[in-house]
Structure 1
Amino acid sequence: MFSYKKVWLIDDDVITNFINERLITLSQFTEDVAIFNTVEEALSLLEETIKTNESEFPDIIFLDISMPGLDGWDFLNAYRMLPKEKRSKCELYMLSSSLDKGDIHMANDYEEVVDFISKPLSQEDLEVIKFRKTNSLEAL
């Protein structure tokens, strides 16, 4: 049984995306994984989704920080301008190889960011996310 309907990976690293997609798929974490190699591509589809097919809005976004062109911070700044009722249905996780404590603190300053996960994504990370979801649903 899938925990989520749609997960987005936003990262310019093709190998990281391949590994994360395989892990997510083999874990039956989601029905659908979409991969975006640029922030621009992801933002464009998010905006289109809001206008045309809201059911395609992702349940979870895993976002890298460091990318050429627009980076993860640029994505977050644009993302927070989207309608709150859409954002509130999506869990956003920073997924980065950065060990800079400043990056971790800055990510935590964004209310949209649920958590900062150090690469690589692991089965344990997915289990923690599922656990959070289960416990938040039970609290309702």
Structure 2
Amino acid sequence: MNSLNDFDCILLIDDDPIINFVTNRFLRKAGYQNEIIKFEHSLEGFDYVKAVLTSFDLGPCSVLIFLDINMPVLNGWGFLEQFEKLPAKAKEVFRIVILTSSYDPKDIKMANDDKNVSGYVVKPLSIFRIGEVEDYLEKLRF
């Protein structure tokens, strides 16, 4: 993986619709051509992840998740705790990049320590920050 277009789909999980709109726009400007699905409620995003894993045979499939940390009901850390409980197939299909407004060193450390997190980017996403994401993606192996 070294390009956004290597992913069949991108999920945006952020409770701020404006951030989802801006992120979507920058992904398109960066040349991402595949499907982008937006969730303003992390529980809905997590339910979608579970549904993808149980609804059909995935075959070779890859999905990138941009996940916010600070959300109501189920925050990003709770999402990651639930993600860890999913079958091993989830770790093959989904890659998670934290996209957050937090510069808190504790959040950065927690993300770096989480084996399911592939990167940490401070929002809003921009053309320059997409370069950071692609740097993380270059390190991924499916």
2:13 corresponding residue in structure 1: 10
2:65 corresponding residue in structure 1: 61
Cα distance in structure 1, aligned partners of 2:58 and 2:34: 13
1:80 corresponding residue in structure 2: 84
Cα distance in structure 2, aligned partners of 1:80 and 1:30: 29
Moved more, 78-87 or 97-106: 78-87
Of residues 101, 107, 114, the one that matches 2:111 is 107
Bigger relative CO (Cα 8 Å, ≥ 6 apart): 2
Report SS of the residue matched to 1:88: helix
Question: Shift of residue 135 of structure 1?
Answer: 6.3
Question: Shift of residue 129 of structure 1?
Answer: 3.4
Aligned-pair Cα RMSD in Å: 2.4
Question: Shift of residue 4 of structure 1?
Answer: 2.1
TM-score of the pair, normalised by structure 1: 0.85
Given the superposition, is the C-alpha separation of residues 114 and 132 from structure 1 closer, same or farther in structure 2, using an over 3 Å criterion?
closer
Provide structure 1 residue ranges, at least 5 long, that are not aligned to the other structure. Answer: none
Provide structure 2 residue ranges, at least 5 long, that are not aligned to the other structure. Answer: none
The Cα offsets for residues 15-63 of structure 1, whole Å up to 9 and x where unpaired, read as 1000000111222224010001111101111111111135396521000
Identity of aligned residues (%): 29
Question: Shift of residue 120 of structure 1?
Answer: 1.1
1:24 corresponding residue in structure 2: 27
Cα distance in structure 1, aligned partners of 2:66 and 2:109: 17
When the two structures are aligned, how many residues end up with a matched partner? Answer: 138
TM-score of the pair, normalised by structure 2: 0.84
Given the superposition, is the C-alpha separation of residues 114 and 2 from structure 1 closer, same or farther in structure 2, using an over 3 Å criterion?
closer
The Cα offsets for residues 59-115 of structure 1, whole Å up to 9 and x where unpaired, read as 210000001111001100001111123213322111110121111111111101011
